[in-house]
Structure 1
């Protein structure tokens, strides 16, 4: 298991429950996941050669990186070298690196926003007049919405490029024209078996619009409200990617936009489970446990019984967050919301310093909620920030 961060604990626990011997590795020995594993090694999840040597010495049976893009290429690289189950390494790199994915999409005739990759602000500035505003600035290799900005004028370009460059190990960023949504931003997870998209659970994603980074998804709801014919159109576009990239068996996380003409734009298809407890919520909503299937896939076990399952009921996840800095004191949850909460966990403790939400790494906690109707879900999730409040001392 590459990584032992808080958001990766569900997969480590699931693998233990399935009876496996779990080895975690990353370069943060204080990560909470390591206390649930059988063995921990201090090796960076992005150091492919170091992980390969460790995997060889341990004679592992499978390798996976739950809910994180950063370790996905390492998983595919090590698996390919050792003959273990995984997607092709080259295909994984195309999906993980935003510039490579855009190039692939253009070559293969997908709908794609006008985009170009750069190394410096000066390069982007020289090209800026060729783009229709607004544009998105994105590190090519970041996840969790870190370093992503929307730019409306050249005056703010340098500042946003500097932010993007802070979050890229590859040293590259993408500038691309913004796609206006028709309806909600489409998120959610899926699962492919032998290259076929056999399961999908699309979601409505809503962003941190009033925060310092307005592109962090903080609310996710099910079922998707887009018509079935659009959902089928999305499914077909995803399947086309899986076929062209010769993908094998494993989880997928979606980031998709549909414009007013019903054109589907695959912003990202990550070869991993989603974060922010979305796989857990999907299990409640459909009865399908994609975490356990991901573990089975990593070990080469059959996943052929996995099939599409409709969402039952109304479900949501909420990323508890702060809009200001301060010292964490607690959470105030309005009485009317307590009946809806299925699971709830804080990732900070009293006395911790917390920052305004600028990416998934700065969440305060997570919630899964359920509702009796679509109307109740829409009403309560529209007002959740006023009813689930982070209490701070020394707010600033």
Structure 2
């Protein structure tokens, strides 16, 4: 029986826990939230923060684990790499994972190695950041260097709003450091999706168009639609640049989560390349659309099991995830779903009930439920998800 330590037991982190249990592994979970549902599934739970790498290392050593998994969590990914490196478990170089998980380190690495990168600098103090902002101008992005789920991010439109944006970013940063960078004007949709590395090679990738709700927050994804609508020649550039980056970082194995754009002049820009599986049900939609189970491979790879049977497969049909969310603060009354949407919904998990307080969607922490949908065509899919308030709407009072 293999002993697997999972860093985190949030609702989005339960799929690999369930898979490990199905395989007969001994499951251990840890984080600082004992009520998370993953802990109820595990054989044992420990109240240890997943970002405290020394505490997790001590725990992992005492438990004699065979593998460590940080699923769908940027903050936990460096901890998993650190623990694996220290006790000789399968994993990637800690220094490389830290670069990918921190926006300031990532931007610096991209610039030093000749990748396209927006003008970007990171600051501990507001005064220095303001001088830089005046140089690059607005619109600009103000972000914590180390948050996930778009928490703490502001798309700054006016210089007068900078101080509030900087303070907002600080509240979501463990490092208390903020990135200020120019906005790249993108052509068409931002691209998201997941991939998987085996022996240093990006053997699988599945990319999607990423969608945002223009009515409440243009920064937090509400879903991803598969396959992406971008042209093959652009995606070939994305693949080549991704492999070049992975080789430079000596990344060896495991899941990746992509976010990138193509600028108006056709240039490729990484936004993020997370050293972990994506959230927003990305692995689940990939499993529906390609038959490839990245959840399984993530656990297997962490235990040193062979993943040689993983091969590239393209999506079949038209699929999306969708994050159910409120357009305003209030009390949840009901969820209205059109007849058309009911026909397309394959899975749904609604986590809110009548009378619950809800917040206007500002980050992944405001998600009220999740759905997976299958559509009859690309055109129907894109039109529907870009105007989803017509088909799926949270009613508040």
Shorter-chain TM-score bucket reads over 0.9
2:349 maps to which residue? 345
Residue among 376, 379, 385 paired with 1:381: 385
Residue among 319, 327, 330 paired with 1:326: 330
2:355 aligned with 1:355, yes or no?
A: no
The separation in 2 between residues aligned to 1:138 and 1:228, in whole angstroms, is 31
1:150 maps to which residue? 155
* Deviation sequence 1:183-236 (CA, Å, 0-9, x none): 21000101111110000001000113221x420010210111111111110000
- Residue 128 of structure 1: how far off its partner (Å): 2.1
2:64 aligned with 1:48, yes or no?
A: no
2:305 maps to which residue? 301
Q: TM-score normalized by structure 1?
A: 0.97
- Residue 120 of structure 1: how far off its partner (Å): 2.0
- Residue 83 of structure 1: how far off its partner (Å): 0.1
The separation in 2 between residues aligned to 1:286 and 1:98, in whole angstroms, is 31
2:112 maps to which residue? 107
2:314 aligned with 1:310, yes or no?
A: yes
1:90 maps to which residue? 95
- Residue 260 of structure 1: how far off its partner (Å): 1.9
- Residue 121 of structure 1: how far off its partner (Å): 1.8
- Residue 244 of structure 1: how far off its partner (Å): 0.2
1:69-88 matched pairs, under 5 angstroms = 69-88=74-93
- Range with bigger deviation, 129-138 or 276-285: 129-138
1:1-396 matched pairs, under 5 angstroms = 1-211=6-216, 213-392=217-396, 395=397
Q: TM-score normalized by structure 2?
A: 0.97
Runs of 5+ in structure 2 lacking a partner? 1-5
Report if aligned partners of 2:213, 2:386 keep a CA contact under 8 Å in 1. no
* Deviation sequence 1:336-393 (CA, Å, 0-9, x none): 211101110012333322111110011000110001211221232233222212133x
The separation in 2 between residues aligned to 1:160 and 1:22, in whole angstroms, is 40
- Residue 271 of structure 1: how far off its partner (Å): 0.4
Report if aligned partners of 1:88, 1:247 keep a CA contact under 8 Å in 2. yes
The separation in 2 between residues aligned to 1:147 and 1:208, in whole angstroms, is 17
The separation in 2 between residues aligned to 1:50 and 1:15, in whole angstroms, is 23
The separation in 2 between residues aligned to 1:375 and 1:110, in whole angstroms, is 33
User: Number of aligned pairs?
Assistant: 392
The separation in 2 between residues aligned to 1:269 and 1:296, in whole angstroms, is 21
